[in-house]
Amino acid sequence: MSTVQKIHTAVFPVAGLGTRFLPATKAAPKEMLPVVDKPLIQYAVEEAYAAGVRHMVFVTGRSKRAIEDHFDTAYELENELSTAHKDELLALVRSVQPADMVCSYVRQARSLGLGHAVLCAERLVGNEPFAVLLADDLMTGPPGGSGVLSQMVAAFEKMGRSMLAVQEVPADQVRRYGIVAGEPAGRNLIRLEKIVEKPAPEEAPSRMGVAGRYILTPRIFQEIRNQPTGVGGEIQLTDAISRLLAHEAVYAFQYEGKRYDCGSKEGFLEATVELALQHPQVGAHFRDYLRSLTL
């Protein structure tokens, strides 16, 4: 009987240019934009940690130093807070980097695409299945329920196959997504037959769009290495997944929860409003404030 493989490592490709959010992203990483009081990347890292992942691999690029600093010890700040007996703040700052979490960094010298960014992490991942989280997709689980990556890890532990998070998207938006088609394979699962990157609406095989959470088997590295460039002249992860299908079963996973596309201004604003309303400190005040507005 085959043993269940655990997911030890999560890859965070954070080397994109973030052009949709200029000028905010001219010198600062888009993944450091805060939603209420936490940067986007911290939401994604916390989601991975909650799913049992302890090794976080960041694929970084130029102007991304702030991400490394965020997950490092802030020695001077901690010293100041400790001397001033600001214990709650000190605990908050330290909680960003739990003692059993290990962070590794690798640079993607040029933005050659998401597939290429994932390939940059190969040596740090090794020959085992791993998760990929795109931090600009902020994902929340159902109220009181598990996070999206935790749901996927549970499904992976049963199936042992690559999994892509999917959701139904409006017909006029299929052009923005990797779109999948396949056969229903039990609760929340579709066995993939096809995946295409950013299709025109008339060519889309369905309206099931890939969201920024993946669990991939290590064979994906070989597929990325051997593929030509795809849509937009980039080395696309979607193309590598399509090639993987020739060798292994791949599943689309219909997650429970919500996704905010924080790479776009609209999605970022929606996340900010909804998460502010749920925030234990500012939620009640913010609700009153919104009610007071004449819209």
Question: What are the residues binding ligand UTP (CB under 6 A)?
Answer: 13-21, 59, 108, 111-114, 116-117, 134, 136, 263
User: What is the distance in angstroms between the CA of the first residue and the CA of the last residue of the chain?
Assistant: 61
Smallest separation, CB 71 to ligand UTP (Å): 16
- Which residue number, 265 or 287, has a Cβ lying nearer to ligand UTP? 265
Whichever of 14 and 81 has its CB closer to ligand UTP, that residue is 14
C-beta closer to ligand UTP: residue 117 or 189: 117
CA–CA gap between residue 272 and residue 279 (Å, rounded): 10
* Shortest CB 84 distance to ligand UTP, Å: 37
Shortest Cβ 277–ligand UTP spacing (Å): 26
Amino acid (1-letter code) at residue 260: Y
Comparison of 144 and 232: residue with beta carbon closer to ligand UTP = 232
Q: What are phi and psi of 21, to 5 degrees?
A: -115, 20
Contact 53, 293 (CB under 8 A): no
Least distance from ligand UTP to the Cβ atom of residue 237, Å: 8
- Pinpoint the alpha helices (H) of the chain: 40-50, 65-70, 75-83, 87-95, 114-120, 122-125, 148-159, 219-225, 237-244, 265-278, 283-292
Which is closer to ligand UTP, CB of 111 or CB of 188?
111
User: What is the Cα–Cα distance from 223 to 152, expressed in whole angstroms?
Assistant: 22
**Largest Cα span, the chain:** 63
Q: Min. distance of Cβ 104 from ligand UTP in angstroms?
A: 15
